[in-house]
């Protein structure tokens, strides 16, 4: 079990290690030790958070995330200091006027992804990444979309190497959504499952204000005994209020996805007009934000879970979509142009 003292212990150990850093390789070693994705102390801490009793989790998750950010910041500062100190004497003409150093920044989509991750991390969810080149099985078939399923038409697909479904060899494609990560994870793990999987996805869409052939989603999945639609609602309402604003109103409307039953589309009260009606929400007062539902028994069957024993929920959220709303950018294509005039408007 994670006690606050574990967090304090890691913090104290980190400070001791940081104080001993004398070079960039030292710094890298300390970074690996604490922030390494697999074996870092912070990653281990996140695992403990996931295993803590539910009532203790929010506070521990928050403490762990604060520590992570502190460590990141301290490492960045130390690196800057090392680089300053490493300049040879005389290399700088101190009489020259200063030139502002162009600092890199996080991309707006990265900022949004990190915000989503940190909310779910604080609830003990594990964060996964998976392949963008996917096979037909994980992208479609195991999600209850056999080769002739009409729902496949909704997702115009980039097939690779001329491979097409129904032409002998299994098709390979650029994944059209992150939902295949549900399958990839469940194939290798037994319940309970609590994951989110962010990443790029691809569709043969003509670019316009709201479409880009490459965009970003985050998938969520929770499976255990006794999971109900109330868990789905509670989690998503909690997430949307934390991500946007505590006053945000959330509406669930019945929908259809082959891999969930029942399925829902989730709307939030318009972030621009507050629900009164404007051009962005097309006078409805609502913005569609994600798709979700209770995992279909056929999906459990595909991964060998006992559908009599387990239930679960899943959702898919468009990161670009929420970035457009949160940062009030009007054209999705701007996120992929990498024009510094846009990127410089976001925090470091």
Which chain residues interact with ligand DAH by CB under 6 A? 177, 179, 219, 257, 260, 291-293, 314-316
| Position with the least CB separation from ligand DAH | 316
Q: Please report how close the Cβ of residue 244 comes to ligand DAH at its closest, in angstroms.
A: 19
Q: Which is nearer to ligand DAH, 64 or 196 (CB)?
A: 196
Q: Please report how close the Cβ of residue 135 comes to ligand DAH at its closest, in angstroms.
A: 16
Return the exposure string of 86-98: e unless at least 16 CB atoms fall within 10 Å of the residue's CB, then b. eeeeeeeeeeeee
Q: Which is nearer to ligand DAH, 45 or 289 (CB)?
A: 289
Q: Please report how close the Cβ of residue 114 comes to ligand DAH at its closest, in angstroms.
A: 21
Q: Which is nearer to ligand DAH, 118 or 260 (CB)?
A: 260
Q: Please report how close the Cβ of residue 263 comes to ligand DAH at its closest, in angstroms.
A: 6
- Rounded to an integer, what distance in angstroms lies between the CA atom of residue 223 and that of residue 194? 7
Q: Which is nearer to ligand DAH, 17 or 126 (CB)?
A: 126
In the structure encoding, which two tokens stand for residue 196, read together?
Answer: 């989110």
- Rounded to an integer, what distance in angstroms lies between the CA atom of residue 153 and that of residue 147? 11
Q: Please report how close the Cβ of residue 301 comes to ligand DAH at its closest, in angstroms.
A: 16
8 Å CB contact between 289 and 266: yes
For the chain, list the strands marked E by DSSP.
126-127, 133-135, 172-174, 193-202, 214-224, 250-257, 260-269, 286-295, 311-318
Element holding 239 (H helix, E strand): helix 229-243
- Rounded to an integer, what distance in angstroms lies between the CA atom of residue 188 and that of residue 119? 25
Q: Which is nearer to ligand DAH, 60 or 223 (CB)?
A: 223
């Amino acid at each position: 079990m994670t006690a606050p003292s574990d967090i304090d212990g890691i913090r104290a150990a980190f400070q001791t290690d940081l104080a001993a850093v004398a070079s960039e390789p030292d710094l890298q070693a300390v970074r690996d030790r604490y922030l390494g994705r697999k074996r870092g102390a912070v990653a281990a801490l996140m695992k403990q958070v996931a295993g803590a009793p539910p009532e203790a989790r929010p506070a521990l998750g928050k403490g762990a995330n604060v520590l992570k950010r502190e460590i990141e910041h301290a490492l960045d500062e130390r690196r800057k200091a090392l680089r300053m100190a490493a300049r040879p004497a005389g290399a700088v003409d101190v009489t020259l006027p200063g030139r502002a150093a162009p600092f890199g920044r996080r991309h707006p989509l990265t900022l949004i992804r990190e915000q989503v991750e940190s909310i779910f991390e604080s609830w003990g969810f594990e964060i996964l990444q998976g392949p963008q080149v996917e096979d037909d099985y994980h992208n479609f078939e195991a999600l209850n979309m056999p080769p002739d399923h009409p729902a496949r038409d909704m997702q115009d697909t980039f097939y690779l190497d001329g491979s097409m479904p129904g032409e002998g060899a299994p098709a390979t494609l650029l994944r059209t959504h992150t939902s295949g990560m549900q399958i990839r994870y469940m194939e290798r793990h037994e319940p309970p499952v609590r994951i989110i999987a962010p990443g790029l996805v691809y569709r043969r869409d003509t670019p316009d204000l709201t479409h880009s052939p490459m965009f970003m989603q985050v998938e969520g999945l929770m499976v255990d005994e006794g999971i109900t639609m109330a868990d789905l609602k509670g989690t998503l309402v909690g997430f949307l209020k934390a991500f946007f604003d505590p006053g945000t109103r959330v509406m669930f409307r019945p929908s259809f996805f082959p891999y969930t039953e029942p399925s829902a589309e989730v709307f939030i009260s318009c972030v621009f007009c507050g629900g009164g009606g404007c051009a962005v929400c097309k006078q409805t007062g609502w913005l569609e934000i994600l798709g979700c539902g209770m995992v279909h028994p056929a999906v459990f069957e595909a991964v060998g879970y006992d559908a009599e024993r387990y239930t679960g929920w899943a959702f898919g959220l468009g990161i670009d979509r929420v970035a457009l709303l949160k940062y009030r950018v009007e054209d999705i294509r701007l996120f992929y142009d990498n024009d510094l005039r846009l990127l410089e408007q976001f925090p470091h």
